[in-house]
Chains A and B, each alone.
Chain A
């Protein structure tokens, strides 16, 4: 069975600095894969190379067996890959519902139908469903910039799922979220994974979050994978402990 996502020998250097140094891994359907590692280990750069924000210096990325290396982010998105960013990036001027409609509108119809058709591209019902799923219905008509940080994080995640992606890459979804929201976020992500049957790759710093959410974990340090396995194994791996403590 082909993996949903297959990364082979990915390398990215900026001048003399090698941020990602020959990373290879596969993600299988329905998995939640976690990627952890100390600061500066190249996790976000890895995402950016997979998702088209950066061009990899070498290596390949395959989605369901077909090569998608270096495709533009919007093309990749239309193939069913979505992402969130480490720095929260919602659209503060649009309402929460409008943010979600935006996230979904490019996946329906054509440019022309979007011009001639209804203002919400027929997405209000799905947007409302998504808002309900993430328990944000009460702020649906608020400008997103006015929501609390935790609510914005949930909205950001919701936007990634609006188009029913095959593969969702989440970059530090728990970053800066308070403890009460964390459990809720983790539970919602787990539920989304089960409901849509989609595959996740999650970068995170929060150990507890990652261990509880992910089926499998990769550990990145200095641009290379130093360990891979289930949560329990990783926790005990001496290389991992050294990588974190050594910094």
Chain B
């Protein structure tokens, strides 16, 4: 991070944080609900950003993990289990399932992984929809309770919003720690140049699997918060559409940037709401904006910011080296 930008970043972050804390007092319950949804989706997007943005693996299964987390939580809390146990169980199970799925799946190249995860997501959705005895089928599980924290009920929209925000903060801190650690460096290496990384002793397979499983685990945690937020869990939200939407969030925000998921989730969750005034056209408008965004700044919003604020010489040189290497790579083959 450029030293000159740090104070600016700090101020921007402080402002955003203050806004997030104060927001519920200015919004109606529906608005607060949407903000909570943003926080919950950001957690899932942070998970996908680990898998995609840092480890370079395209996963279309994130919605399935959110769903698994949501159903575990809904099923158990409606049967009296305390929230914390279901929350942990959701995270750990999804981590484990991610590991099991990733173990064979990551042996294939990128675009094949996208299809395997796509198939996995759709299969899980089918199970959600068909296994009524477990998931309630299309009728779902209703009346999912909201947890109590040390005696305080999280029932009200404002309280639950702060609850989600607190989890987002925890997840962000944990992810920041991960990225700063040698693991983060290994992730960058295996994303940028897996062949070189391997020759330096980086076990790319193990790190990729880790990134994938961690991403899945975060998806599960997101789901564990989704269930008490909406208080009703049915299969429809966890179809392929959500996986594509989460992918969109990561890329639009800026794949591989720390704050990318936050921005991306804002775009994906808040923008359609703001566009609602266009009535039936809001999804079309949203789709057009997304396409325009990809044409104009394919590196995502933060990528665009990076390009605008970086001194011209440096970024040109870095991209020149990269494209040079890419071209030479082609020629050598």
Contact = CB atoms under 8 A, between A and B. Distances in A.
B182 A73 contact: no
Given A72-B198, A93-B192, A146-B314, A87 B182 contact: no
A60 interface: no
Chain B, interface SS category = helix
B200 A102 contact: yes
Which of A51, A93, A117, A120 is the most central at the interface, judged by chain B CB atoms within 10 Å of its CB? A93
A102 B181 contact: no
Given A89-B195, A119-B182, A106 B203 contact: yes
B309 interface: no
Given A101-B185, A117-B181, A146-B314, A91 B192 contact: yes
Contact of A74 (B178, B183, B192, B202): B202
A83 interface: yes
Given A51-B199, A143-B314, A89 B193 contact: yes
A82 B318 contact: no
B200 A115 contact: no
Interface residues of A, number: 41
Interface string B184-208: 0110110011011111111110100
Interface in B270-328: 314, 317-318, 321-322, 325, 328
B200 A114 contact: no
Contacts of B111: none
Interface in A20-45: none
B181 A115 contact: yes
Interface residues of B, number: 32
Interface string A100-121: 0111011100010011110111
Which of B185, B202, B322, B329 is the most central at the interface, judged by chain A CB atoms within 10 Å of its CB? B185
Interface string A53-78: 10000000000000000001110011
A125 B196 CA distance: 23
A3 B157 CA distance: 72
Contacts of A88: 325
A53 B195 contact: yes
Nearest to B319: A145
Contacts of A77: 198-201
Which of A53, A89, A94, A117 is the most central at the interface, judged by chain B CB atoms within 10 Å of its CB? A89
B195 to A, nearest CB: 7
B192 A106 contact: no
Contact of B199 (A83, A93, A105, A121): A83
A74 B182 contact: no
Nearest to A88: B325
Contacts of A136: none
B199 A145 contact: no
Given A87-B325, A89-B196, A115-B178, A105 B185 contact: yes
B180 interface: yes
A230 interface: no
Interface in B141-195: 178, 180-183, 185-186, 188-189, 192-193, 195
A102 B185 contact: yes
28 contacts: A52-B198, A53-B195, A53-B198, A73-B195, A74-B203, A82-B199, A87-B328, A87-B329, A87-B332, A88-B325, A89-B325, A91-B192, A93-B188, A94-B188, A98-B185, A101-B185, A102-B185, A102-B186, A102-B202, A103-B200, A105-B185, A105-B186, A111-B206, A111-B210, A114-B182, A114-B186, A115-B178, A120-B182
The 8 closest A-B pairs by CB, nearest first: A145-B318, A106-B201, A77-B201, A114-B182, A73-B198, A89-B196, A105-B182, A121-B182
Given A77-B201, A92-B192, A102-B185, 14 more contacts: A77-B199, A77-B200, A82-B200, A85-B196, A87-B328, A89-B195, A91-B188, A98-B185, A102-B202, A106-B203, A111-B210, A119-B180, A143-B318, A145-B318
